[in-house]
Amino acid sequence: MRTCWSNRSGGGFDRHDIASDSEFYRLPRLVTHIDDRAIAAVGALYTELGLDGSVLDLMSSRISHFQHPPERLVGLGMNAADLNADPILPFSDASFDAATCCVSVDYLTNPITVFTEVGRVLRPGGAFVVVGGARRGAPIGSCAAAGRPR
């Protein structure tokens, strides 16, 4: 699935491949998107940031990136919910202490709405950690950002 974003229709996040996500995810995609070294680095970041309590792992993998699992870890993978068809998260307001999204944001066609939803389901002061990586040979390396809504 190619998810290169463009601004062809003014939306900012249109995809060149407009095929249905439900068809793409009809069969579970049981893949590992990053190698063992990257998984260890992400796990170390989560540990360093002290992610604990109730954590939403947005667009989660079948392999946890947590070295030390939080008290409650809720995974919401693309096979479980089509956030492109319905970007509203199926959780109550302020129900998580933290949220993560690891190397998956580029699969979203409406990341701003999904990230706004993350803000809604986070408790005040909750952390949202987004980890991205180099795709298609882009020379950016891996990066991470953590934000705490006001």
Q: What is the pLDDT of residues 99-135, one digit of tens each?
A: 999 888 877 888 899 999 999 999 999 999 998 876 5
pLDDT band of residue 17 (cuts 50, 70, 90) is low
- As a whole number, the mean pLDDT across the chain is 76
**Gap between the Cα atoms of 17 and 6, Å rounded:** 11
Question: Which single residue is written with the structure tokens 């939803």?
Answer: 117
Q: What is the pLDDT of residues 24-38, one digit of tens each?
A: 556 665 566 678 888
**Gap between the Cα atoms of 32 and 29, Å rounded:** 9
pLDDT band of residue 62 (cuts 50, 70, 90) is confident
Alpha carbon of residue 105 to chain centroid: 5
Averaged pLDDT, 56-77: 87
Residue 141 has pLDDT above 60, yes or no: no
Percent of the chain with pLDDT over 70: 63
Residue 92 has pLDDT above 70, yes or no: yes
Q: To 10 degrees, the CA torsion angle through 3, 136, 116, 68? A: 130
Percent of the chain with pLDDT over 90: 38
More confident residue, 3 or 67: 67
pLDDT at residue 3, rounded to an integer: 37
Question: Which single residue is written with the structure tokens 């796990």?
Answer: 43
5-147 adopts what CATH topology? Answer: Rossmann fold (3.40.50)
pLDDT at residue 105, rounded to an integer: 81
CB burial string 75-95: b at 16+ within 10 A, e below: ebbbeebebbeebebebeeeb
